[in-house]
Structure 1
Amino acid sequence: MTFAVHGLPVARGIAIGRAVLVVSSRLDVAHYFIKPEEVEAEIDRLRVARNAVSEELQKLQASVALMGPNEAPHELSALLEVHLMLLQDEVLTSGVKHWIVERLYNAEWALTTQLEVVARQFDEMEDEYLRERKADLEQVVERLLHRMKGTAAVLAPTPPRRKRSAEDEDSDPTAGDAIDAPLVLIAHDLSPADMLQFKKSVFAGFVTDVGGRTSHTAIVARSMDIPAVVGARTASQLVRQDDWVIIDGDAGVVIVDPSPIILAEYGFKQRQGDLERGRLARLRHKPAVTLDGQRVDLLANIELPEDTLGAVKAGAVGVGLFRSEFLFMGREAQSLTRLPDEEEQYQAYKRAVEGMQGMPVTIRTIDVGADKPLDGKSVRDDAHLNPALGLRAIRWSLADPAMFLTQVRAILRAAAHGEIHLLIPMLAHASEIRQTLALIDFARAELDNRGMVHGHVKLGAMIEVPAAALTLRIFLKHFDFLSIGTNDLIQYTLAIDRADESVAHLYDPAHPAVLRLVAETIAECRRQGKGVSVCGEMAGDIAFTRLLLGMGLRSFSMHPSQILAVKQEVLRADTSKLTRWVEQVLESDDPASLLLPAPAPQ
């Protein structure tokens, strides 16, 4: 039966494919694809774990038998027997093998996937006793996962695709096994580290129950240029493994088990989107110059050095934001030995510089905390009541000077290979500025003492806290340029947790207070002859392109997938005719009503 789930559209386009559910577990479960030649090894891992758990349960049974009735009630022995039966159950074991052999899932992923399938069968049972056995099954799976923990194979970035036969091509796309069908990811939530792992995979789109428009899950989705919907509430509970799903990233709608008519309609929309992208691709080599001759720099936001390939392909004239924290994701935050050392970071930054082929690269120092924990776990589960207001970004770095110095030394060394700008996130106090600059000077002195080659970097600060936007004079004394991080600026100005879907409707980039802070920052930088850019999601939103141009912005940094659409808006704009309209927007109580459509050149 066809039904729809509504959420927040965060990455545009249409995706049609089979659902892959990432099932939550009390353990951290790795999800990755294996190579065909690794199938037997994964099945062996599962078999070894099952035999070990079976032996463990049998030993427990034996010890229970030796105990008196007061020490171990009869029910305990019966419970262990149930666990042994579930462990050997053919539905569980054959199902897990199916996901390993047919879908090339790693053993842990296959196990949690089959758990989800069987658990739903338990939920549908009329007998209350049988329904309650689902908890026993979950406990058995947890035991297996514990046994397999630490024995995972090396990650394979993409699964090999099986070629479909001519008969398959001519058939209904939803008919049969459709091994070669596109895959769409359905999850309750995904950490930034999860997203990086899936970024190297083959998913055509994804849906999460939680998240906001500018949560980092959404940001990485846009960088992957795949349709995505977040904040879909119960999607992971309603969608079943292998269901056919349509993700409408424009409307924020997820359609499950679509009818042939709906499939045809969305297939047409998908082709129209492909045609539009083809038309935009023709603008790649065209300089971004407005109708009145204003040159505009369109830069790229990246997470990893390999992303520079997409940036160059999209026509970016540099990297305006390299989110360096993604080099740190998924490691133990408590142990510096598990973090990337100076050499590893240096090589990564050097690859990014080389990848941009002589164009400038702006590297933001590590910005962790809030929705970007180092260990991949949700910070909302830890002791911090409000991590967005806690130890994050430059506060984190200043609390751990050794880590910060390691990163700064690596960046300075990489600057010997090309133009690098060093960007500091979330500064708000003059004392923080002084501490930061002193540590950067100390890092330079350390390299000099070692006799190591390093280069000059321009220093910049992020304006993402209202306190910073209101004290620009202090910042412009010390920094060569400023970069407006609109995602956090909106969050902190409006007191909205941008990762919380329950208040997502209040997240408003067109709020008068936000627009005034942005406009005043741009104007002050221009008055003092300092560079300024916008690197938040507002920079890649074509609804704001002409407004930002009218405010005087000439440097936009966004995901590579958004560059061509923004370039088209730039090419159609006449900044000399935008001044009065911008004033009207800034004076309005309801700026959003004036943004679309923006005035066309006369």
Structure 2
Amino acid sequence: MTLQVFGLPVSRGVAIGKAVLVASSRVDVAHYFINADQVESEIERLREGRDVVARELETLKREMPDDAPGELGALLDVHLLLLHDDALTGATKQWIVDRHYNAEWALSAQLEVLARQFDEMEDDYLRERKADVEQVVERLLSVLARGATSAIASGASHGGSGWGGEEPLVLIANDIAPADMLQFKQSVFKGFVTDVGGKTSHTAIVARSMDIPAIVGAREASRLIRQDDWVIIDGDAGVVIVDPSPMVLEEYRFRQRQSELERERLARLRHTPAVTLDGERVELLANIELPQDAPGAFAAGAAGVGLFRSEFLFMNRNGSLPGEDEQFEAYRAAVEAMQGLPVTIRTVDIGADKSLERMSINELRHEHTLNPALGLRAIRWSLSEPSMFRMQLRAILRASAYGPVKLLIPMLAHRGEIRQTLEQVARAKQQLRDAGLPFAEVEVGAMIEVPAAALLMPLFLRHFDFVSIGTNDLIQYTLAIDRADENVSYLYDPWHPAILKLVSDTIAQARLAGKGVSVCGEMAGDSAFTPLLLAMGLRSFSMHPSQIASIKQRILRSDTQKLRLHVHDILSSEDPHARYRELVDGEPSRTPALAA
């Protein structure tokens, strides 16, 4: 029976495929594809794990005290029977053979199938036996995980290429951590859906960088959708269609083909300069997460990298930190891949919804705060660990010897933070001089993503060479909204008059001071905002490489002189979005905008 699940659209397009469920578990489960030549060894892993659990259960039964209830021995017998039942281990083996899942993933997939079967049983006693199956599986997963990395996309070296099937797959999960999303960049998944998340959570941002249809905040998706259900992900409308009719399926396949044709048409703009109708040249930069993203940014026609999110180098490492040489090689790879174009590297922005799994440094103090978005994150964390911070600064500075590099500092808000940061940069430079290691002079910039920073622009412009507006956090902190929380997502409003005023004032003050200014948040890659940002005076946009062509198209059709005439009217309106549509897009407002 066809059903629809609604969520928040975060990455546009249509994906059609069979559902792959990543069920949440009390035990972290590694999910990755194995290669064909690893199937037998993976089955052996499963068999060995089953034998270990069987021995543990038999030992428990053998060593039970004499006064133990008889029901306990009977329960252990039930668990032993379940452990050897073909419906569990035999079917799990089949997932490994057919889908090339690793053993843990195959086991959790089969648990999902069995759990639904138990839920549908009419007999109360039989229905309650689901708990026994879950306990057996949890025990087996624990045994399998003892010698393995316990992260959702562990085994990234397989890159998803091991699966030998031809059917398209879509990923359904309760949630996917941003670091884990990176592991799916080259995977077989055509789209994904999560139960939780907001439009500008970092999971959503990485999804857009992958340029695949995605929906978050779909609430019950992972409960309503079953393994291998045919699913349509409508990333434009935020709708998941489960078990679609042939007519609906054909309609969406037609939309897929139309989307592919549109992408091909936009791709032809790659070598076209981004110049407005009135001759204003605009710089289109790329946001990247890893050095291997840089070639794609260059291929998309980016004029450089406006934001290299260095924190992703620190993730999925079982708590260890990348050393200076490892970081240096990563930054150098990105710089060299851009072939002389500038690369802006942001220092580590750990915290909020981007955490490290198990860090030895200070036991990740920010992880234990009630609201990590307001805790020890970004530059606060870096300044609390000065040796780690200088190590990263040295690595970034060393990379500048191989091409133009800019240094970007996140989440600054206080004069003392500015002073400490610049002192650390100076010390890192001196350490490199003392060691005889080459580096070039780099511009140092500040992220404007805290309202305090936007309101103190004269102070920032005295100390920094350029500023970059992080609209995602600026909106979050200005409107007091957790941007990863779907419960308040309706309040997340980039068109809010306060947001537009802060952005406009920041751009104006930077231009007046002769300092560079860019927008690297999601507003930069949203073509709905392009004319307004141009009218505000913005001439540098940084976005995911997949968004560059559509933004360039909007720029080529814009006349900044005409747009500039409407800025004051839009910014002074109580409903800037409605007024913008009326003045710029030519759409009549449903309600008249009153002057504020």
Q: CA deviation at 1:558?
A: 0.3
Cα pair 1:421 1:460 within 8 Å, conserved: yes
Of 103, 106, 109 in structure 1, the residue corresponding to residue 105 of structure 2 is 109
Corresponding residue SS for 2:89 = helix
How far apart, CA to CA, are the structure 1 residues paired with 2:583 and 2:158?
A: 47
How far apart, CA to CA, are the structure 2 residues paired with 1:595 and 1:329?
A: 41
Q: CA deviation at 1:277?
A: 0.8
Corresponding residue SS for 1:329 = coil
| Corresponding position of 2:54 | 54
Q: Deviations over 1:410-463 (max 9, x none)?
A: 000001000000000000000000001101111111111111112211100000
How far apart, CA to CA, are the structure 2 residues paired with 1:139 and 1:345?
A: 42
Of 375, 383, 395 in structure 1, the residue corresponding to residue 368 of structure 2 is 383
How far apart, CA to CA, are the structure 1 residues paired with 2:582 and 2:286?
A: 26
Of 289, 292, 303 in structure 2, the residue corresponding to residue 306 of structure 1 is 292
Cα pair 1:104 1:159 within 8 Å, conserved: no
Change beyond 3 A, Cα 1:345–1:382:
closer
Cα pair 1:192 1:329 within 8 Å, conserved: no
Cα pair 1:329 1:376 within 8 Å, conserved: no
How far apart, CA to CA, are the structure 1 residues paired with 2:11 and 2:296?
A: 17
Of 170, 173, 179 in structure 2, the residue corresponding to residue 184 of structure 1 is 170
How far apart, CA to CA, are the structure 2 residues paired with 1:138 and 1:548?
A: 53
Cα pair 1:533 1:556 within 8 Å, conserved: yes
The residue type equivalent to 1:3 in the other structure is L
How far apart, CA to CA, are the structure 2 residues paired with 1:150 and 1:433?
A: 44
How far apart, CA to CA, are the structure 2 residues paired with 1:384 and 1:595?
A: 40
Q: Deviations over 1:572-591 (max 9, x none)?
A: 00101111211111010001
Corresponding residue SS for 2:24 = coil
| Corresponding position of 1:367 | 349
Corresponding residue SS for 1:532 = strand
Change beyond 3 A, Cα 1:407–1:13:
same
2:238 is the alignment partner of 1:252: yes
Of 211, 215, 223 in structure 2, the residue corresponding to residue 237 of structure 1 is 223
- TM-score w.r.t. the length of structure 2 is 0.95
Cα pair 2:35 2:163 within 8 Å, conserved: no
Corresponding residue SS for 1:198 = coil
| Corresponding position of 1:564 | 549
2:306 is the alignment partner of 1:320: yes
Cα pair 2:10 2:199 within 8 Å, conserved: yes
Of 155, 158, 176 in structure 2, the residue corresponding to residue 156 of structure 1 is 158
Cα pair 1:463 1:469 within 8 Å, conserved: yes
Q: Deviations over 1:368-396 (max 9, x none)?
A: 1100001189x999532111101100001
Of 366, 384, 387 in structure 2, the residue corresponding to residue 399 of structure 1 is 384
Cα pair 2:497 2:575 within 8 Å, conserved: yes
Of 249, 273, 279 in structure 2, the residue corresponding to residue 293 of structure 1 is 279
How far apart, CA to CA, are the structure 1 residues paired with 2:365 and 2:390?
A: 28
Cα pair 1:186 1:236 within 8 Å, conserved: yes
Cα pair 1:543 1:595 within 8 Å, conserved: no
Cα pair 1:393 1:425 within 8 Å, conserved: yes
Q: CA deviation at 1:324?
A: 0.3
How far apart, CA to CA, are the structure 1 residues paired with 2:97 and 2:267?
A: 39
How far apart, CA to CA, are the structure 2 residues paired with 1:197 and 1:471?
A: 39
Of 193, 200, 204 in structure 2, the residue corresponding to residue 207 of structure 1 is 193
| Corresponding position of 2:32 | 32
How far apart, CA to CA, are the structure 2 residues paired with 1:519 and 1:246?
A: 39
* Structure 1: gaps spanning 5 or more residues: 163-178
Cα pair 1:192 1:376 within 8 Å, conserved: no
Cα pair 2:365 2:376 within 8 Å, conserved: no
How far apart, CA to CA, are the structure 1 residues paired with 2:40 and 2:544?
A: 40
Q: CA deviation at 1:202?
A: 1.4
| Corresponding position of 1:269 | 255
Stretch deviating more after TM superposition (267-276 or 243-252): 267-276
Alignment of 1:428-467 (within 5 A): 428-467=413-452
Q: Deviations over 1:520-555 (max 9, x none)?
A: 000000000000000000000000000000000000
Change beyond 3 A, Cα 1:223–1:443:
same
Cα pair 1:191 1:376 within 8 Å, conserved: no
The residue type equivalent to 2:76 in the other structure is L
How far apart, CA to CA, are the structure 1 residues paired with 2:401 and 2:365?
A: 40
Cα pair 2:191 2:213 within 8 Å, conserved: yes
How far apart, CA to CA, are the structure 2 residues paired with 1:433 and 1:131?
A: 61
The residue type equivalent to 2:235 in the other structure is G
Cα pair 2:99 2:163 within 8 Å, conserved: no
How far apart, CA to CA, are the structure 2 residues paired with 1:341 and 1:598?
A: 53
Q: Deviations over 1:31-65 (max 9, x none)?
A: 1111000001110111001001101100111112x
Cα pair 1:573 1:600 within 8 Å, conserved: no
Change beyond 3 A, Cα 1:133–1:299:
same
Q: CA deviation at 1:199?
A: 1.6
Cα pair 2:468 2:517 within 8 Å, conserved: yes
How far apart, CA to CA, are the structure 1 residues paired with 2:444 and 2:490?
A: 36
Cα pair 2:33 2:163 within 8 Å, conserved: no
The residue type equivalent to 2:422 in the other structure is L
Change beyond 3 A, Cα 1:8–1:380:
farther
| Corresponding position of 1:217 | 203
Q: CA deviation at 1:160?
A: 4.2
Alignment of 1:133-148 (within 5 A): 133-148=129-144
How far apart, CA to CA, are the structure 2 residues paired with 1:391 and 1:56?
A: 43
The residue type equivalent to 1:531 in the other structure is G
* Structure 2: gaps spanning 5 or more residues: 149-153, 587-596
How far apart, CA to CA, are the structure 2 residues paired with 1:139 and 1:277?
A: 48
The residue type equivalent to 1:374 in the other structure is L
Of 114, 136, 159 in structure 2, the residue corresponding to residue 118 of structure 1 is 114
Alignment of 1:539-554 (within 5 A): 539-554=524-539
Identity, % of aligned pairs?
A: 66
Alignment of 1:335-350 (within 5 A): 338-350=320-332
Corresponding residue SS for 1:53 = helix
How far apart, CA to CA, are the structure 2 residues paired with 1:510 and 1:357?
A: 37
The residue type equivalent to 2:50 in the other structure is R
Q: Deviations over 1:44-96 (max 9, x none)?
A: 111001001101100111112xx222xx1111111111111111110111221
Q: CA deviation at 1:595?
A: 3.0
Aligned length: 576
